[in-house]
Amino acid sequence: MKILVLNCGSSSIKYQLFEMPENKVLTKGLVQRIGEEQSQALQGNNGSNLEIDEKIPDHAHAMHVIERMLTHPEKGAISSLEEIEACGHRVVHGGETFTGSVVCTQELEKVIEAYCELAPLHNPANLTGIRAAKAMFGDVPQIACFDTAFHQSIPKTAYLYGLPYEMYQKHKIRRYGFHGTSHRYVAREAAERLGKHKYAVNLITCHLGNGCSIAAIREGKSVDTSMGLTPLEGLVMGTRTGDLDPAIIFHLIRLGYQPGELDTLFNKKSGLLGISGLSNDVRDLQEKEEAGDESAKLALDIFAYRIKKYIGSYLAVLNRCDAVVFTGGIGENSISMRERILNELDNLGLQLDNKKNQTVVGEAGEIHTNNSRIKILVIPTNEEGAIARDTYALAREYEMVESTI
């Protein structure tokens, strides 16, 4: 079965075409700068195979560009769109309604729309993508996979803030958590590597990419995570602050900052970029640090310290932990960042094997010593692959229901 996975942003669509159940990527691509004067679409390995430069005014038009790329006579992967039997969509916010992926009916679209309030930067674009795909694919099932769904198992003690309870009742203010598809994917892969059932493992999963979050997983289910109502809370990230004293906001407002300005400051100008004044990219900062730059070192130290602090607190939450898992661009590739995070954690049962750490880059592997009580794993994430799997499972069920009606 061929499945198209779509990740729609406000001005971009990323896509991957899978052959299922093999989970094989047939091709992938990206349409960017949708709505701008000059848009661009790239498809193929490293985006080098096929390129279209033209004005792409909206997502509906972008879907037709994707069709042209997928069915390109020489460089395409299929001869007709009819070969695609289902589409999977990444949707950022599913609120408290969605605990797993779902087939998108009109009713469910309305629920996703209602959550635009909680994710104004993401859900509207995700929904636009679903609607554009529906318009193009007709009856082909459209499946929504939510970043928040995996974290719906978090108990109230961990998802409520210390605010008056009515803030939750009236305004749905609570921790939702994000990167759920990634945390779930690496948790399942970790269980398999550990030779345990997916609901028999206790893990701490660290998704360290441009956005960063960490999750405590008990018996295969998320019981706490660092991101909150929005992706701003928790770890220090490429450009986001992570945890802050909320009174800093009142203080800055009294100093004359506008709420919108603070939103940009906290989300886009802080984190590694803001602290170093140099870059949001760990690779750049590592290079600068090696050349003796103190601000790069400080930013990397703060980044690692916050992760260490969360690992410690989640060890307390879980009591028993089988493994700490690293994933995301930084978690999978940065030897020195893993070293920074994991040094001096022997007393908590985590002992890094420096030699193994040097060799596991961009691939799955173990990086703990034989004496480490808790295992330390690197597992590359595959959010699109996880969405393809969910889409395949739901599309097959959908097919069975349709054929019995």
* 209 lies in the binding site for ligand AMP (CB under 6 A): yes
Per-residue x/- track, 216-255, ligand AMP (CB under 6 A): ----------------------x-----------------
**Using rule CB under 6 A, residue 210 touches ligand AMP:** yes
Nearer CB in complex with ligand AMP: 164/362:
362
How many CB atoms neighbour CB 193 within 10 A? 17
Answer yes or no whether residue 359 interacts with ligand AMP by CB under 6 A: no
CB of 295 to ligand AMP, least distance (A): 16
Angle between helices 59-70 and 123-137 (to 10 degrees): 50
Helix (H, G, I), strand (E, B) or coil at 80: coil
91: number of Cβ within 10 Å: 31
Instruction: Report the nearest approach of ligand AMP to the CB of residue 179 (Å).
Output: 10
Q: Which of 53, 58, 139, 147 is catalytic?
A: 147
Among 94, 234, 328, 380, binds ligand AMP (CB under 6 A): 328
Query: Segment 123-182, which members bind ligand AMP (CB under 6 A)?
Result: none
- Measured N-to-C along each axis, helices 259-268 and 247-254 cross at an angle, to the nearest 10 degrees, of 130
281 binds ligand AMP (CB under 6 A): yes
Burial of 295 (0-12, 13-18, 19+ CB in 10 A): middle
The binder of ligand AMP chosen from 55, 110, 283, 373 (CB under 6 A): 283
How many other CB atoms sit within 10 Å of the CB of residue 66? 25
- Which is closer to ligand AMP, CB of 101 or CB of 334? 334
Tell me whether residue 147 is one of the annotated catalytic residues. yes
In 10 A of CB 82, how many CB atoms? Answer: 12
- Give the integer Cα–Cα distance in Å for 94 and 85: 24
Q: Which is nearer to ligand AMP, 17 or 285 (CB)?
A: 285
334 is a contact residue toward ligand AMP (CB under 6 A): yes
Residue 339 interacting with ligand AMP (CB under 6 A): no
Which of these segments, 164-172, 213-221, 281-289, 394-402, binds ligand AMP (CB under 6 A)?
281-289
Q: Which DSSP symbol is given to 262? A: H
User: Helices H, strands E: what count in the chain?
Assistant: 15, 14
282 is a contact residue toward ligand AMP (CB under 6 A): yes
Determine the residue with CB nearest ligand AMP: 329
CA–CA separation, 116 and 93 (whole Å): 8
Handedness of CA 143, 147, 148, 149 (dihedral sign): positive
Cα dihedral 357, 188, 181, 170, rounded to 10, equals -120
Min. distance of Cβ 212 from ligand AMP in angstroms? 9
Which residues does the annotation mark as catalytic? 147
Tell me which residues touch ligand AMP (CB under 6 A): 209-210, 238, 281-283, 328-330, 333-334
